[in-house]
Every structure is written in C-alpha cells, then in structure tokens.
Amino acid sequence: MLRQFAQLALLCIAVQSVYSETDPKYRLNTTITPSAYTILITPYFDTGDDKAFTFDGEVQITFTTASSINTIKLHSEDLKYTASNITLTNGVNTINLAETNALEFEEKYSFAHINLASDLSSGVEYILKIVYTGPIRTDLAGFYRNYYIEKGVKKWLGATQFESTSARKAFPCFDEPEYKAVFTLTIDRPANYKPSLANTKLQGTLQLSNGFVRETFYPTPKMSTYLLAFLVSEFEAEHYSVNGTKELGVFTRPEAKNQTEYAFDFAVRVVQALGNYFGIDYYSTNSNLKLDHIALLDFKAGAMENWGLVTYRESLLLFIPEESTPYYKYRVAQIIAHETTHMWFGNLVTCHWWSNTWLNEGFANYFQDYITALIEPDVAADDQLIIGSVYTALDADDKPDSPPITNNNVNSPDEISGHFGSISYQKAGSVIRMIHHLIGDNAFKSGLNSYLIANSFQPGYPERLYTALSQGVNVYNSLASYPGHDITDIMSSWISRSGYPLVHVEVNHADSSIVLTQKRFYIHSTDKSDEIYKIPITLSLETAFDFTNTKPAFIMANKTYVLPVREIKENHSWPILNIQESGLYRVNYDSHTWHHISDHLKSSRREEIHYLNRAKIVNDLFAFLFADEEKFDLLHDVLHFLEDETDHAVWFAAIRGFKKLRSHYLGTDTLPIIDDFILHLMESSVTRLGLEVKSTDDIKTRRNRMQVLDLACKIGYQGCIDGALTLYNDFKNNGKWIDPSLREVVYCTGLRYGNGEDYDFLWNRMFTTNVANEARLIGDILGCTSDETKLNSFLVSMLVENSPIKIQDLTVPLSGVLSNYSNVHVVIDSLQNNVSLWKSIYVSLDSVLSSVASALRSDDEINKFENWLSTCTECGESAVTSARSSLAKTKVMTQWAKDHRSDIWTSLRGSASITSVSLLMLLAGYILTYKF
C-alpha cells in the first residue's frame, strides 16, 4: 500500500509515542489454521428503507486446529449476528455451541469468541458458517460507500480497503497476515450496476428473482485476509487487454475513461518488466488471476495492492498530458510500479506479522522507482530513489525514539498503522538499495528469485530473505572483496537497529591516509549513543573523479577506519564519499576538505562532481546546521555554487533546506535577510527557466521550473510575481490555457495577490473539473488566498454538500491554510470559537491541535495557545497531550532559531549578495504582505 505521507502527516502525529506501550492481547494466538473462505455479500445502497447502506453477509470458514480446543476466537468488528446465526460442522456432523454464553464479543480487541459444548479435535477439518449483517461504512475502511455525480445524478458504489486490520469489518475472519487461505467470493449486486470486480476472474452469473444478479468469482490464490477486495459499481474500462489468459484493465467512472491511456500502457509494461526481473511471471502464479486497476474518488490510502484488483485515488491513476502536471506523470508511474511490485512482495510472499511490514513495503518502495527508471526513463524516477526515498528516510530516523525497521512492539491497530511509515517504506527501501549496490545486480536478482520461489503463498520472515540473498551472493561470489562479512550480518544490522551513521572524513596529507570515524547521527546535538553500523563505503578522489562505480570499496564495521591512499600526499587529492548516495549515511569532512569541495563547486569544474553528490552535499550541510555539527558560515560559503547550478535534484535539496531554515525564522526579523540570500542564489535559475514552457523541455526541467518559481514567487521575486499574475489574469479573464507545469505557482500567486473572487473562481474550478489531479492541485493551494473570510470557509469546506474535499482529503484545508504562517491566527480563532464544529469534522482533535501547535513561532503565540489548551474542556485529554508534545518541539525549534540568529546575521551581513537597497525592498514587501 502506498500511503499519502503529506496528507497523513497530520493524522499520524498522535501516533509518535505508540511504541512505548504495547499490548500483546491484540494478537489472535490461536491454534486454528484456516484453509478456505466462502463469502456471499449482498449490498444495499440508497434503497430508502432500513436496509439502506447495509449489506447481508454469509461466510463459511474451513479450518483445522493443532490442539484440542472448545473456543473459536476470531476477528469481528461492527458486524451483527447472534449464536443462532452460527453453525459448525464436521462433514455431516454438527458441533453444538455452549448452552450459555455461546457467543461473546471482546470489542477492545475486535474478537468474537464462539464457545462450544465439546472440544474440537486436532487435525480434523471443520466448517464454521456465520450469517451476519453490517454497515456499508463511511470511514473508507472495510466495505465502504462512495459516490460520484454523473450528469446530475448521484451514483453510489461499494469498495473495500482491508489493509491492515479492516477485513474483520466485512466478514468474521482470522485477520492476521500469516493466516493465509483461499477465498471464493460471491456478490449479489443490483441488476442496474455493471459487473462487479474482485481479485479473480468472474466464474459465473445468475439472474435472481429479487432484482439482483449473483456473480461468483474463481477461487483466489492462497492469501491473507487483507488482500481480499471487491467493487460494486457502474465503472467501465476504456482499455482492457486480453492476451491469452493475461487480462489487465483500468476501470473508472464512465466520464473519466478518457484519462486512462497512460496508466494502462504503463501497467502492461511494468507487470511484464517486474516478472522478468523477479523470474516469476505474474500470471503464472494462478490461472484465474487478472490485474485490474481501479480509480476511486474517495480512498484512504494512496493505493492498495489487492491481488488482481488494485485500488487507487483517481488523482494517482488518471493522467491527461494537457491538464496534468509533470509531477503526476511520474507519480502515476511510480504508484502503479509500487502496487505491482506488491504482487510478489506482499501478495505472493507476505510478511508474517506487521512488525516486518518492510518485507512488503520496503521492496515496493525501492522498485517503484528502480523499475520505473528502467522502463520509463523520461520521468526521472532514478533521482527519486535518492531525493525522495533516501532524504525522507534520513529525516525520519534522526531521533532517539525512532523505531528499527523490524519493530517487535507492534500489536494494536494503531501501532500497526503507525508502522506503515517512513521507516518501513523509505528507510527499508534505501537499505535494500544499498544492499543491491553492495552485492551487484546478478546476486540480487538471484537472491530475490530464490526468496520468492521458496516462500510462495507463505508468510515471509527476514531470516528467509537473508538466506536467499546469501545463496545469490554465493553463486556470484559477490562478497569476495569483503572477507569476514556475510549478507545476513550486514543487512540484519541495518534492519534490527534504529538510526543511521554520520561518517566524518579526516584527510591526512602528511601520511597519505583518510581517517574515517562513524557515529549515529542525531538532529539534536544533545543526543548521544554508541551504535556502530556496518557501512558499505564508496568514494572517489579529486585527481580522477569516477562517480559511476557504486560498488563499495570496503565495509566499515568499526568506529574508526584508516584508509591509506597514495594520491593524498603525492597529488594533494581529496575524496568525495558515498557515490550517488548509494549508502544510507551522511558524510562530514574536515575543514580543509570542505574548503576544497566548496572551491571545486564554485569553479568551472562543478559538474565533475555527480549531480546527486552535489545534492547530497547540500542536503547533508543543512542537516549538519540543524544538528550543530557545522556552523552556518560553512553552509553559506558552499551554497554560492547554486548561482550557476541547473540540476533539478540539486535544487530540490537546496529548496527543501531553505524551506526548513525559513520555517525556523517565520515572523522574525531574520527571515527577510535569509530570503534575500535565497533570491540572490536563485536569480540566474529564475531568469533561465522563466515562465515560458518550451516543447523541448524535459520533465526534469519542467519540475525544476515548478519548484524554483514556486519558492521565488512566495518570497518576493517581483519578476516571478508579475509574470505569474499575467498568466493567471489571462486565464481567469480570457480562458487562456496554462501549461500544467506552471499552474501551481500561477494559481497560488493569483490567490495571494487577489481577493475573494479569485478564491471563488478556483473553488468553482475544483468543484467542476473532471480531472482529479487538477482538483487536487487546486485543493492544495487554496490556502494561498489572503482573504480571511475565504480561509475560514475553506477550513470547513468538507461540510459543503457534494464537496470536492472528500474524506481522503480531510486534512488538506487545515494543512493548506497553516502552510502560510500569516494564517495561523485565522485557524486558532476558528478553532477556539467553534470547537464543537471542528469535532464534527474530525474524528479526533489530536492531529488538529498538534498541527496548530507545530505552526506557532512567537513566544506570545505559544503561551496563549498553551493557556487555551488548559481551559478547553471539549478538546479531549489525548488531544491536549499531543498538542503539548508538539508545543515542546516547537519551543526547541524557536530556541534553536534564537541561538543561531547571530551566526546567520554575521554571515549574511558580510555577504556580497546583501545590499541595502535589496534588503529595504524585501522588508517593504514583508510589511505590505507579511509573506510566509
């Protein structure tokens, strides 16, 4: 499953301390092994009676038990049935239920206990039948409802989202990933609906006398409960391929069928490419599997890898070149590749328990970009392996309470959900990438093939993966250069240990050596530990730079390593470590080496250093600043090379660093001088890229233009603002088309310098557009408006009838408005005056209050909010606790800003980039518009 991290950030704040207490009672711990489920679902939509938006269900579970038991414990949540709805048989024999307390529900743990009159025998096959009813839910979990408007008519559909603990909301089951079984599904659908879709092909259809059509699907492969899926709708497929038995389609609401061509083309190619890479053809795993991709209007996750029936948000599956940004072309390819990878890693072989979610998600995270780069190189997915996954992993794992990739403190649904995060996705994916570079492609492919074949249709364990990779390593002798090391020790040390290292490089010209010292990197300098990592070290020397060889020179397994290098003394050479950031570690250098690096970057030889290493230098230096590993003057000195920099990845690293630095100084007198420095560095890029998109621009150029102009306009580059406003007004007043790659900056600038009419104009466009990613783009920037009445309206816009802000987008208005610091008071006023209204929108205020607390900067704001929390009786204890935790982090941030203000002023006041005229103009702009 691909999570929407930007959107889920608000929702996950309250889960940060979830690992401190864990309750193993959430686990089944049963001796029962299910082998087969037969399920019948009959949904009722807007029937206008008491059955409306409910479903009838019937499940038969075939199972055995390994020991004699008289209670069947299984999962069941929000489903209605009594003991009279339960039968248990063994062939022709019926096993009676207990005369008293035959059925007990343990709601906290979502368990149903079926108590029996006699013991069940081990090794004997039983069939448990339960007839039940349940709600077609509204929370996007389990079996839930969704609607869309087609030609003025509301069309209802029923979809599923079972990962990770929601299958139990649709049918009683053994809802843990290791309990794999075969599922045979039957759906009775309304006759006016299109044929239902499920994991497998349709086996048979029967017209019923009650106006329903009974559809039975072929049995699934042996799989976990969370992978079962079905869709009851009027969806259609514009593109559907039947290549012998290899069926693949893209299904949407009828009015969006014209947006599926790219997704269909890529989906066909990527399933073939992954099958070739893993050595197992997808369709060979089960003759009744097909592979459908479904675009849903309201979907909690980014996408979900249900075997044969992959579900997505519309905005992440549909793409129109004329209306979708270049980012979405990459995003559609990436997410299809991610979910298709799961057909092997997650579906064919499934993590035995959510403590090892990485066995599913780490591989999907890696191959989403790795395989995309191979078959669709023009979307620049190879760079995203680093600036997307590695950067995210580094940021997520720099605190003492970061969990390891394998986290055994995962039991409850909240803990499970919390483990679906950057550690299981990006960090695990980056470790897998590092191992790939270490052992080479042949050994890697061989090992993965061995793992998949040996564990097909079974639970997976890290030890089984290490064993398989060791086999590949042995076949190709790929660790011969690293005596004393084996793949199990190397990889398991990264998987079982939290954090990552910082490698300090000391170049000793006197004795021709490079001394490396490692320590765990923390973002706060007061945190210390003694972890030692097994680090695959890659490096290249300035005398003969080679950034193509990512095979590690050695493995650093001790705190210190001395590397003799003849060229250090003879040629006064110096090194760059971590070639193309192929390893998961930061690199700091001694002051003389930093001086050499800075001079080289600012010279005509800048591009001799690979652009991903230039990006790494920038990204690491910003991290070192915030961690007090280096002072601002070093960052300031090195960053001057950006005046001539053209690469998207390098600017990505710089802009994310600038945004974090600016965030620390929002609302202070230091922000204008920082912005002036940034604008000086960006000036040539803004001029070169401009607001004119050329037909020859590749996707990296277009994405670079998007990120550079977005920041330039926001912090006051007048040429950018004027150009964007010209495009916006021509679009608004004359309907002139805007290139999708410019829309984010043009729309946001139009809102910022416009009025309420401009908000209404874009709101109406979001409401009426048929292109989901255009609607999503607008939703993300509506918080740019300077009209406070409209901001207040936007904050509660999900309450509007048929609002384009769906449940999946619940946090979008709040995060959008809070992204502009000058809007913080609007949010606080709305929240404090309408707590009850906000509680009607959000299930919990935990994430809301935490997000507001994180957006504060001044002592006065912090104190006032803290005082209000003490008086808020409606907020809830957990929400107040979460908010206070966020306030504590905010105070650390603001104190850091105060402590480093002098260093920043000293460096920037002495810079040639700061002139009295430009500074006065920038300050004037802040007085007029109070930009964020």
Helix axes 699-714, 648-664, angle to 10 degrees: 20
Q: Are 749 and 718 in contact (CB under 8 A)?
A: no
Tokens of 317: 């599956």
- Spatial distance between the Cα atoms of 585 and 901, rounded to a whole number of angstroms: 28
Query: Which residues on neighbouring strands pair with residue 156, listed in sequence order?
Result: 147
CA distance 932 to 819: 8
Closest CA to 163 of 424, 384, 465: 424
Q: Are 639 and 681 in contact (CB under 8 A)?
A: yes
- Nearest-5° Cα angle at 361, 499 to 256: 135
Q: How far apart are CA 28 and CA 113, in angstroms?
A: 11
Quickly list H helices, 184-286.
261-278
Q: Is 361 annotated as contributing to ligand binding?
A: yes
- Chain-centroid distance of CA 143 in Å reads 23
Cis, bond preceding 164 (omega within 30 deg of 0):
yes
Q: Positive or negative CA dihedral for 162, 164, 169, 170?
A: positive
Q: How far apart are CA 429 and CA 578, in angstroms?
A: 17
Spatial contact of 638 and 617, defined as CB atoms under 8 Å apart = yes
Q: Which position has the token pair 């940004």? A: 325
Phi-psi region of 716 (alpha: psi -120 to 50; beta: other; left: phi over 0): left
Which of 576, 498, 581 lies closest to 533 in space, CA to CA?
498
Token code pair at residue 655: 């802009």
Check whether the bond before 822 is cis (ω within 30° of 0): no
Give 309's strand partners: 292
Copy the structure tokens of residue 324. Answer: 């979708």
532 Cα distance to chain centroid: 29
Query: Which residues contact residue 772 at a Cβ distance below 8 angstroms, ignoring those fewer than 6 apart?
Result: 256, 295, 297, 313, 314, 315, 318
At 294, the amino acid letter reads I
Using CA atoms, how far residue 243 sits from 240, 250, 291, 619, 682, in Å, is 10, 15, 12, 47, 51
CB 374 within 8 A of CB 408: no
Tracing tokens 């965030």 back to the chain, one arrives at 663
Q: Tokens at residue 412, please?
A: 């409850």
Active site residues: 339
Contact 354, 384 (CB under 8 A): no
Instruction: Tell how many helices (H) and how many strands (E) occur in the chain.
Output: 30, 30
Largest pairwise CA distance in the chain? 93
Asked whether the beta carbons of 358 and 342 are under 8 A apart, the reply is no
Q: CA–CA separation, 489 vs 12, rounded Å?
A: 32
Residues in the chain: 932
Cα distance between residue 766 and residue 770, in whole Å: 9
Supply the DSSP string of 476-521, one letter for each residue.
HTTTTTSTT--HHHHHHHHHHS-S-EEEEEEEETTTTEEEEEEEE-
The contacts of residue 725 (CB under 8 Å, 6+ apart) are 749, 750, 753
- The type of residue at 851 is S
Angle at 331 between CA 143 and CA 817, to 5 degrees: 80
Query: Residue 118 phi/psi, 5° resolution?
Result: -145, 170
- Residue ranges of the binding site for Zn(2+): 338, 342, 361
- Residue ranges of the binding site: 338, 342, 361
